[in-house]
Structure 1
Amino acid sequence: MRASSDLLAVWHAFDAFPMETLTKAWHFRSGNEPKQRSVELMRLHRERYGSSGNCFDLALWLIDAFRREGIPAYAVGHDLLTPNAHVAVAALDERGRAYLCDLGDQWIEPILIDAESGDFTDEPLAGFVSGARVALSVRESWLHVAYLRPNGKRSEQAYDLRPIAPDALVAAGEYSQRLLRKPLVERRIYTEAEVLHWDLGDGTSFLSGNRGRTEEAPMRSQADRVERIRLHTGMDRQVIEQALAVYGTASIEIE
């Protein structure tokens, strides 16, 4: 079952927000403290530089946006205070049913995770993740997600559904913001036919959709890389350049 219109209205306000670890490197370089930015500072940076943030930034921002609309929301995730940490948001509709809202992994829209609801299903579902169906199961306090790709590939993700306390979320975010391994940028690309997932990693970029993965042309220079990120995200060129320079000399690891 789709989320309520009120919940979706907040979610879709973030449609143009990529998940990116560039801003963390740029902010790290600035020397400003703390490294985990407030929602107010994130808004300012987006207005000035077109930036967004990593999964911690996006979770904090989304929770704030839900609460401003009177929608209860809290963080969920796994492996906090480790390089493998990931967080998302659980938001409750008017009937108290929980929906997973994962901007960090760039899900297309929230998905019902309330196993007690008569609308919950463990059947594979399309339309929530680009280029994959998802199958959910809830065991004790854990949500398990299986991603089923057209080529038969299967991957999995798990979320501890126990609410993360606000102070613990900020502390885990601070830890994550100080870990730098490689630049990552992901974004949903909306087309008439489907929602594609654009991904940039170590020198390559590609689109994922219902027909599988399509590699983009190689980037032959740092200038090519900067321009491709700018075109896909709208981020300020200097912010991208400075962030990539930080990653070029970083020796500590991140998500």
Structure 2
Amino acid sequence: MKAPQEILAVWRQFDDFPMDTLTKAWFYLKDQKPRQREVGTMKRHHMEYGVTGNCFDLAIWLFDAFKEAGIEAYPIGSELGTEDAHVGVMAADSNGRRFLCDLGDQWLQPILVDADDNAYTDERLPGFFPAAEVQVIPEGDFFKVVYHRPNGKFSSQVYSYKPVSMEKFLEAGEISQNNVYPKPLLEVRIPWKDEIAHWEFFDWKSFLSTSKGIITDPSLATIDEWVERIYEKTGYDRTVLKESLEFYKGLREDSAS
């Protein structure tokens, strides 16, 4: 179920890339149009401020990297144009076998999704997603990924096999970038003991998901404290983090009033 080296070589370029909506809020404040950034702009922001972006940003960036490497790939998405939109990239190896590449959910590596391939299995598999085993289950034009957590709980995500045109993909990205959900989010893969764990900051709380369970961080009281905690995990520019978090704090206060 693992991808060949040709696909992994591109994927590994993004190993230390968080997925976040903090960059989204920071760029939203600049009021530049379009708000869905091009790859060149994302690369410049990453070089200058260390930031990456949300699932649309990462999918567009990854797709461009596959294209540059001469690997067949196309964008995929579910519920595009809504608050529940989720996107990724499908990449094919030299034999035409398709692999899901999802930086938005911070996968550890791509996974085979063609059920008619000899290497396919619907068994629960470790090593593809931080702190969880995954199953890939085909369902017609879609496939479902089931995540099995160490505490016995599970969740699922549905993806479409069908390609999305770049025009429609960018339109959906623009919709997403123009709608800032009032709860900030950042996810990043980080080394923990002998594994790669999943650290998440969401709605002013943070925690680490590991194969041994969830480790909750102590609560924080100030923006500056959050800036330092997120900086330690990501290396994001402190000024960018502060501007973004202050914007989210304002959204929270507006929703509470």
TM-score norm. by structure 2 comes to: 0.95
| Structure 2 unaligned residues grouped into runs of 5+ | none
Q: Does 1:96 align with 2:96?
A: yes
Worse-superposed segment, 99-108 or 199-208: 199-208
Write out aligned runs for 1:128-139 (5 A).
128-139=128-139
Partner of 2:166: 166
Runs of 4+ aligned residues of structure 1 deviating over 2 Å after TM superposition are 248-253
SS at match of 1:250: helix
Write out aligned runs for 1:191-230 (5 A).
191=192, 193-230=194-231
SS at match of 1:100: strand
Aligned amino acid, residue 144 of structure 1:
K
Give 1:248 shift: 2.4
Cα pair distance change 1:250/1:217, threshold 3 Å: closer
Structure 2 CA distance, aligned partners of 1:194 and 1:37?
33
Partner of 1:149: 149
Give 1:190 shift: 2.6
Give 1:8 shift: 0.5
CA RMSD of aligned residues (A): 1.4
Length, aligned pairs only: 253
Q: CA deviation digits over 1:6-33, x for unaligned, max 9? A: 1101101101100010111111101111
Structure 1 CA distance, aligned partners of 2:52 and 2:246?
19
Give 1:76 shift: 1.2
TM-score norm. by structure 1 comes to: 0.96
Structure 1 CA distance, aligned partners of 2:62 and 2:229?
26
Structure 2 CA distance, aligned partners of 1:192 and 1:224?
25
Q: Is the Cα contact below 8 Å between 1:99 and 1:112 reproduced in 2?
A: yes
Give 1:48 shift: 0.2
Q: Is the Cα contact below 8 Å between 1:28 and 1:178 reproduced in 2?
A: yes
Write out aligned runs for 1:1-255 (5 A).
1-181=1-181, 182-191=183-192, 193-250=194-251
SS at match of 1:16: coil
Give 1:191 shift: 4.2
SS at match of 1:7: helix
SS at match of 1:164: coil
Structure 2 CA distance, aligned partners of 1:192 and 1:14?
21
SS at match of 2:14: coil
Q: Is the Cα contact below 8 Å between 2:184 and 2:204 reproduced in 1?
A: no
Q: Is the Cα contact below 8 Å between 1:79 and 1:85 reproduced in 2?
A: yes
SS at match of 2:155: strand
Aligned amino acid, residue 10 of structure 2:
V
| Structure 1 unaligned residues grouped into runs of 5+ | none
Aligned amino acid, residue 52 of structure 2:
S
Identity in percent: 45
Give 1:136 shift: 1.1
Q: Is the Cα contact below 8 Å between 1:180 and 1:250 reproduced in 2?
A: no
Q: Is the Cα contact below 8 Å between 1:136 and 1:146 reproduced in 2?
A: yes
Structure 2 CA distance, aligned partners of 1:172 and 1:249?
26
